[in-house]
Chains A and B, each alone.
Chain A
Amino acid sequence: MADSVAVKPRKAASPPAQGGHRSTQRSRREARAAYLFLAPWFLGLLVITIGPIFASLYLSFTDYSLLQEAKWIGMDNYVRMFTEDPRFIASLKVTTIYVVVSVPLQLAFALALALVLDRGLRGLSFYRSIFYLPSLLGGSVAIAILWRKVFGADGLVNAVLGIFGIEGQGWVGDPDTALGTLILLHVWTFGAPMIIFLAGLRQIPSSYYEAAAVDGAGVLRQFKSITMPLLTPIIFFNLVLEIIKSFQSFTQAFIVSNGKGGPADSTLFYTLYLYLKGFKSYDMGYAAAMAWVLLLIIAALTGVNFLASKYWVFYGDDK
């Protein structure tokens, strides 16, 4: 992503020697206009983003509850998190399982469907739309409500199982399966990465496949030697994006567990616990510290991802 984004070097403003007074005046006018265009964004960067980032760093070293002054307590929040707070550890564990299981599963579905839909299948856009729809709806409260009922004790899944004479259970009410239902919900939204895969597949020239077929390469061989390597940058892009996104999932767990993360903390997502700490117990210093730990985790995961990508992502020979 960073590649396509980098600012292209622009031809430098014409040197003063040639245009003299006029052109410096011009570039000054241009700069002034630019900063005017950017004024709302600058204000936002300062007030909505950078200011709060530093404020939250400061708060993370304090004991603060909105009602009284912030009290400096050094590293206490961070130490407490890892040594005295089993719920924090539980939330880390739940979120990690969620990310580690649901992201690869979701991407596997996305890739498989993209491969099936690739190249001239009739009705492609129809299928693409159908599979994409859940991605748009999946984050909403309404779908989380639906999920809760689909996997409830007297829900749809059990009704269907009943037809086959299998007695189901309350999937969202059982600590062993509740997280599984949320993982399924995430997998259900495979449409967005599928579209990114489709766009990637379309960029592989069909002449590669023709040449390989002439050389006698079978389908599996073509997949292994052409499709996969050329698709690795897209897989990588999807992986980074989905990990970052799923680490911050909130709504589904909140609705399915009535805002509590139950049963037995089995759906206590990291951000849900952060919310409970900061806005239910008003332990805002602690919540800020949790937010910083989240930032560090996400930054570290992304960093590791980029480092590891050297070993499996194929960027072509020219780069």
Chain B
Amino acid sequence: MATTSRRPVPVLFRPLQGGPLVKHVLLIGFGLVMLYPLLWMISSSLKPEELIFREPGLLPSTVTLENYTEGWYALKHPFGYYLWNSAVITALSVVANLVACSLAAYAFARLNFPLKKLWFALMLGTIMLPHHVVLVPQYIMFSELDLINTIWPLVMPKVLATDAFFVFLMVQFIRTLPRELDEAAEIDGAGYWRIYLRVVMPLCLPALATTAIFTFIWTWNDFLSQLLYLNNPDNFTVPVALRTFLDSSSDSSWGPMFAMSILALGPIFGFFLVGQKYLIRGVATTGLK
């Protein structure tokens, strides 16, 4: 890497040439500005209500948990109830996506069958399809089936592998695995199911992890479908509950709302800490968000 030139150089261009110290200071400064709203929300959730907007600083002069206790009991059910609802739907979605997408991916990556190219192209096409095109008929269908206010409209699409993104991700991954392993297993008398289950899946763990983490985050954050399909407060998930909270609270109860928002973001942050490696690899290879 060129470090020959002594001329002052715009920081943006050849990184190694700007003094590293300057660059670190700038990066940390920029990172702080970016994360400031988040940090402010955390600190505000720990401040007494009346201090939130008087102190833009991060360190609360008085720390209190009353926003959390107040927010927890602010809606029809304690907030834990909504966290549980979200957790159930998210867990089912993750399992469904892992099973259904990996089944399809194995077939696309390893088996030969008539019209394979056509189906594969269709599968890729559905990745780009805006969800809104199918929104209205799906809603009508689920409401005809009397499934509004159940988990089915949210989980069924995952059971049926409609998150084609992940099928694609796993196909790409399986193709990198040596075929000799399949062939060796076949010589040992293993059928396709056994090869899928015992040979391919264990080697696919990184792709499965990426799928699981992204499904988790997307389902946990998903607002539109949960808003559409869950309108009974007994079925509310975290995003819908937060939205109701926002509607019902006056401008003075931001503390409790911040506190519950922190709880809502907590699991995502946790998965971010644990699964960074898979997240970043997933984004870098497929452009997932």
Contacts and interface: CB of A to CB of B under 8 A. Distances in A.
B276 interface: yes
B76 interface: no
A160 B56 contact: yes
Given A53-B133, A196-B287, A154 B112 contact: no
A295 B16 contact: no
Contacts of A100: none
A248 B272 contact: no
Interface stretch (A5-13, A78-86, A88-96): A5-13
B214 to A, nearest CB: 9
Interface string A125-151: 001111111111101111101110110
Interface in B158-185: 159-162, 167-168, 172, 175
Nearest to B37: A150
A1 to B, nearest CB: 8
B130 A294 contact: yes
Contact of B284 (A142, A145, A199): A199
Contacts of B13: 115, 219-220, 222-223
A275 B223 CA distance: 12
A258 interface: yes
A271 B280 CA distance: 29
B289 A192 contact: yes
Which 4 A-B residue pairs are closest in the complex by CB-CB distance?
A: A44-B160, A142-B261, A55-B137, A52-B137
B264 A142 contact: yes
A140 B239 contact: yes
Nearest to B101: A41
B14 interface: yes
Contacts of A278: 135-136, 139
Given A132-B279, A133-B272, A251-B224, A209 B2 contact: yes
B243 interface: yes
A136 B268 contact: yes
Interface stretch (B19-27, B59-67, B203-211): B19-27
A179 B228 CA distance: 24
Interface of A: 1-2, 4-5, 7-8, 10, 13, 27, 30-31, 33-35, 37-38, 40-41, 43-45, 47-49, 51-53, 55-56, 59, 66, 112-113, 115-123, 127-137, 139-143, 145-147, 149-150, 154-156, 159-160, 162-163, 188, 192, 195-196, 198-199, 206, 209-210, 212-213, 218-220, 222-223, 237-238, 241, 244-245, 247-248, 250-251, 254-255, 258-259, 271, 274-275, 278-279, 284, 287-288, 290-292, 294-295, 298, 302
B130 A219 contact: no
Interface of B: 1-2, 4-5, 7, 9-17, 20, 23-24, 26-27, 30-31, 34-38, 40-41, 53-56, 100, 103-104, 106-108, 111-114, 116-117, 119-120, 122-124, 126, 128-141, 143, 156-157, 159-162, 167-168, 172, 175, 191-193, 196, 217, 220-221, 223-224, 227-228, 238-239, 242-243, 246-247, 254, 257-258, 261-262, 264-265, 268-269, 272, 276, 279-280, 283-285, 287-289
B162 A48 contact: yes
Contacts of B1: 119-120, 206, 209-210
B4 A213 contact: yes
Contacts of B11: 116
B134 A49 contact: yes
Contacts of A56: 133-137
A223 B12 CA distance: 10
Given A38-B119, A250-B223, A294-B130, A146 B38 contact: yes
Nearest to B159: A40
Give the residue among A142, A220, A288 with the most B Cβ atoms within 10 A. Answer: A142
Contacts of B196: 37
A48 B133 CA distance: 11
Nearest to A189: B289
28 contacts: A27-B112, A30-B112, A31-B112, A34-B107, A34-B111, A37-B192, A40-B100, A40-B159, A41-B123, A48-B157, A59-B136, A119-B1, A120-B1, A136-B268, A137-B269, A141-B221, A141-B243, A142-B264, A143-B265, A155-B53, A196-B283, A199-B284, A213-B5, A219-B13, A250-B223, A254-B223, A271-B132, A291-B136
Nearest to B260: A142
B161 A44 contact: yes
A74 to B, nearest CB: 18
Contacts of A2: 124
Contact of A45 (B126, B168, B258, B289): B126
A278 B10 CA distance: 51
Contacts of A222: 2, 13-14
A77 B240 CA distance: 31
A198 B287 CA distance: 12
A136 B272 contact: yes
A118 B287 CA distance: 18
B137 A51 contact: yes
B257 to A, nearest CB: 6
Contacts of B223: 139-141, 250-251, 254
Nearest to A130: B31
Contacts of B126: 45, 49
